[in-house]
Amino acid sequence: MSKVITNVSYFKDNDLKKNQTITIEGSLISDIKDSDHTATSDFLVIPGCIDLQIYGSGGRLFSADPTVESLTIMEDDLLRKGTTGFLACMATNSAEVFNKCISAAKEHRSTAKNCLGLHLEGPFLNPKRLGAHVPGYVRKASLDEIKKLMDFGDGVIKMMTIAPELQDDAVIEYLLDSGVVVSLGHSNATFDEATAAYNKGIQTTTHLFNAMSPIHHREPGIPTAVFNHDKAMASIIADGKHVDFEVVKFAQKLLKERLFLITDAVTACATGPYQHIEKDNKYVMPNGTLSGSSLTMLTAIKNCVTYCGISLNDAVQMATTYPAKLIGIENLTASIEIGDQATFLILDDMLNLKEVIFKGETI
């Protein structure tokens, strides 16, 4: 049975198409056309949000409870909040915890809804730029270890954050050849070292400005290397806590379609090495170190529009099209066209979520 959504607007390229009727057959968009009548609607349809770095949701921190149940709870909670695709992130931890997380993701894969796989943020980081990561687990990767990790992962490891200045070229090449999106992060790389890493094929950068060598007028650092590169992308946490909104605005002007949004969100946790405490709309470790955010992807979009002067269409693409293209799923969920998967959000004029359509079904 078809589902018809009338009198909505959506962006087609850079144009806002108003008074549209979208018809869904099964899991696909079967038709888009002008509505028969001209009644106006303030409802906006956008693709579902894609979050490539989130640690927990629905009260579950995945690394603290690395189970299929945790992933399922995260999926359902994030779907209700408009995130229709995400990578469950794991911070630097013991081999035992990593293996449990990977095993849970593999077991969950056959029934997964919006969980797209795993993002390993560590342990192959620079100890000079750890942020909230546990230093005792940080180390340089060996090629043999990476081969065993990829073999054990069996395809669920989609993204990995590394400090490339400390890794052998063979390690980076193997990850890239394995189809992993490699992200430069928690790194003290110089401008030249970061530029060389991007030239080797590293595609993106983890939470721009956080836990990396900064911009200095005599030491341009990682951010300048990203800005100057023609292909390197970067994620950013637009919560006003991790990065000032003026800096988000500045970065978007320079990077345009190479900058995308993540939440880096965690949830309160009182066990294990990552004990997150909520404070002033962010999370900190017991020693006060800034850890994760309390963002949702929709709030990140709103912040970009409200506080950063970024156009609504650009902000939406930062949360949908750009991350989807990075991990190669833009054909599934990053546009609203006839024949596309019917996965999108319906928002009111204040960008509040009214309805989630996921693979043709109302959530």
Question: What's the pLDDT score for residue 330?
Answer: 76
At 73 the pLDDT is 98
Question: Rg of the Cα trace of the chain?
Answer: 20
- Which residue among the candidates 51, 65, 239, 264 is catalytic per the annotation? 264
pLDDT at 282: 86
Do 172 and 164 form a contact (C-beta atoms < 8 A)? yes
What CATH class has 48-333?
A: alpha beta
**Mean pLDDT (10-residue bins), the chain, 363 residues:** 90 91 94 80 92 96 96 98 97 95 98 97 97 93 97 98 98 98 98 98 98 96 98 98 97 98 94 90 90 96 98 97 92 80 95 96 93
Evaluate the omega torsion of the peptide bond into residue 220 and state whether it is cis, within 30 degrees of 0. no
Burial per residue of 158-176, b for 16 or more beta-carbon CB atoms within 10 angstroms, e otherwise: bbbbbbbbbbeeebbebbe
Can 244 be counted among the known catalytic residues?
Answer: no
Same fold, 3-46+335-362 and 48-333: no
Name the pTM for this structure: 0.96
Nearest to 302 by CA among 347, 268, 266, 344: 347
Residues pairing with 29 in the sheet:
24
Q: For residue 122, give the 3-state DSSP assignment.
A: coil
The CATH T-level fold of domain 3-46+335-362 is Urease, subunit C; domain 1 (2.30.40)
Q: Is 224 left (phi over 0), alpha (psi -120 to 50) or beta?
A: alpha
Q: Who's near 239: CB < 8 A, 6+ residues apart?
A: 281, 282, 293, 294, 295, 299, 300, 303
Indicate the domain borders of the chain. 3-46+335-362, 48-333
**Residues 108, 72: Cα–Cα separation, whole Å:** 8
State the Cα–Cα distance between residues 79 and 326, nearest whole angstrom.
21
